[in-house]
């Protein structure tokens, strides 16, 4: 059985490795960090991602360590509802809940599926040299490995992608994002809700990730990115709950990042090398589908590799995944733009329009996201 090498030990790379291992393939996962440290943040695994993990018999473990989310709310600065999407219809349809969980806990669940000789830490990819029967992977620690198949799951700044597709453009959304986790007693009504508050050029979201902890994120429009601490004054017009959550979070548990994505491009593979997840279709976080789409990739790619020779498998994977992934990238970018309008009249108009979107349309949009491709 061939060895399949995965560059990147994040959620997408690990999920792909588990699928391939279950199908009998030998797998090596190369991660550039010396120690796997998960960002101190949460993640919402939407129903499509949980369907994938159910196929791996991991959904119960994930559910046990997270908190279920049965509705998604868009609210104004005073936490008054603009739009609410009830997820219970999909819970009934798929017999699975959407789960909010700490990234570290999810990563540990995934890593526990690997043997020590399948995970290679401190391996930062330096180059790929094509050979007649595959390629040679060269790492910054001066170690080289012959490889038959390479999957680049190394994120938005993917070295694999840079080596294959030099012209791919990273798009900056002109937004800065802070993410934090803290022990906090949310009001009971928010126990199983994912809430996002829209203001003028700023947003704030929060969700419980277990009985004690709350994950929150805040975004602000910027002209030019520079790493900076969150300023509570940017959220002074919001409900007092927002300032309370921010002020009670230890600074060392607040992480800052610039929001960006990748302009959609075709052909995620060249010869025996293929891209997956953010390396292929990084998206802004406005639909909560970045990691979920990488998880879908893992399922589809593993199925294709099992059914076809490798070159055909990559093409089938692209054909099955590219349309949905690109639509989510483009839709998410548009939502992020609209959510950050700062003109008072446009903000009023935005909120009025979002309020009038029928429930049937909301459910149809969710169904398109949650439905997995039939292979």
- Categorize the per-residue pLDDT at 294 as very low, low, confident or very high, splitting at 50, 70 and 90: very high
**CATH code assigned at 342:** 3.50.50.60
pLDDT in tens, 32-50: 998 877 666 999 999 999 9
C-alpha span between 279 and 153 (Å, rounded): 6
**358 CB-near residues (< 8 Å, 6+ apart):** none
Say if residue 347's pLDDT is above 80.
Answer: yes
Q: What is the pLDDT, as a whole number, of residue 101?
A: 98
In a domain, 124, yes or no: yes
Q: Region 320-332: what's the mean pLDDT?
A: 97
In a domain, 348, yes or no: yes
User: Tokens representing 60?
Assistant: 């119960």
Q: Region 4-21: what's the mean pLDDT?
A: 98
pLDDT in tens, 186-212: 999 999 999 999 999 999 999 999 999
Per the structure, the count of domains in the chain is: 1
The bridge status of strand 125-131 relative to strand 213-221 is unpaired
C-alpha span between 257 and 175 (Å, rounded): 9
Neighbours of 342 (CB within 10 A): 11
* Total length of the chain: 375
E strand spans, the chain: 3-7, 26-30, 42-45, 67-69, 71-75, 81-86, 98-102, 119-120, 125-131, 134-139, 144-147, 149-152, 170-183, 193-198, 202-208, 213-221, 254-262, 269-270, 273-275
- Give residue 13's domain range: 3-170+261-370
In a domain, 248, yes or no: no
Say if residue 1's pLDDT is above 80.
Answer: no
What is the reported pTM? Answer: 0.96
In a domain, 290, yes or no: yes
In a domain, 344, yes or no: yes
Q: How far is CA 177 from CA 35, 180, 218, 275, 302, in A?
A: 24, 10, 6, 26, 33
In a domain, 209, yes or no: no
In a domain, 233, yes or no: no
C-alpha span between 47 and 91 (Å, rounded): 8
Q: Region 336-360: what's the mean pLDDT?
A: 96
Q: What is the pLDDT, as a whole number, of residue 83?
A: 96
Share of the chain above pLDDT 90, in %: 94
In a domain, 195, yes or no: no
């Amino acid at each position: 059985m061939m060895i399949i090498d995965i560059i990147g030990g994040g959620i997408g790379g690990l999920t792909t490795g588990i699928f391939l291992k279950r199908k009998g393939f030998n797998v090596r996962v190369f991660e550039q960090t010396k120690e796997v440290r998960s960002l101190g943040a949460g993640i919402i695994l939407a129903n499509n991602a949980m369907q994938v993990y159910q196929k791996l018999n991991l959904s119960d473990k994930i559910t046990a360590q997270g908190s279920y989310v049965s509705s998604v709310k868009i609210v104004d600065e005073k936490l008054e509802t603009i739009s609410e999407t009830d997820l219970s219809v999909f819970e009934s349809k798929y017999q699975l809940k959407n789960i909010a969980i700490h990234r570290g806990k999810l990563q540990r669940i995934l890593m526990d599926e690997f043997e020590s000789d399948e995970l290679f830490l401190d391996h930062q990819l330096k180059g790929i040299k094509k050979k007649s029967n595959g390629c040679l992977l060269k790492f910054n620690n001066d170690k080289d490995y012959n490889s038959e198949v390479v999957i680049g799951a190394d994120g938005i700044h993917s070295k694999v992608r840079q080596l294959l597709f030099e012209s791919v453009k990273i798009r900056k959304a002109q937004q800065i994002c802070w993410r934090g986790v803290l022990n906090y007693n949310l009001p009971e009504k928010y126990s199983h809700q994912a809430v996002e508050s829209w203001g003028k050029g700023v947003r704030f979201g929060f969700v419980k990730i277990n009985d004690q902890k709350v994950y929150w994120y805040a975004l602000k429009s910027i002209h030019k990115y520079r790493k900076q601490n969150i300023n509570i004054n940017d959220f002074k017009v919001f409900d007092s709950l927002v300032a309370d959550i921010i002020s009670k979070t230890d600074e060392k548990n607040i992480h800052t990042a610039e929001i960006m994505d990748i302009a959609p491009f075709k052909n995620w593979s060249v010869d025996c090398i293929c891209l997956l997840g953010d390396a292929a279709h990084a998206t802004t976080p406005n639909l909560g589908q970045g990691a979920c789409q990488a998880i879908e990739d893992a399922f589809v790619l593993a199925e294709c590799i099992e059914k076809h020779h490798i070159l055909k498998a990559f093409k089938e994977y692209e054909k099955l995944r590219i349309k949905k992934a690109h639509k989510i990238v483009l839709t998410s970018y548009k939502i992020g733009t609209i959510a950050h309008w700062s003109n008072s009249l446009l903000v009023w108009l935005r909120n009025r329009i979002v309020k009038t979107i029928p429930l049937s349309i909301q459910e149809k949009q969710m169904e398109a996201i949650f439905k997995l491709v039939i292979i």
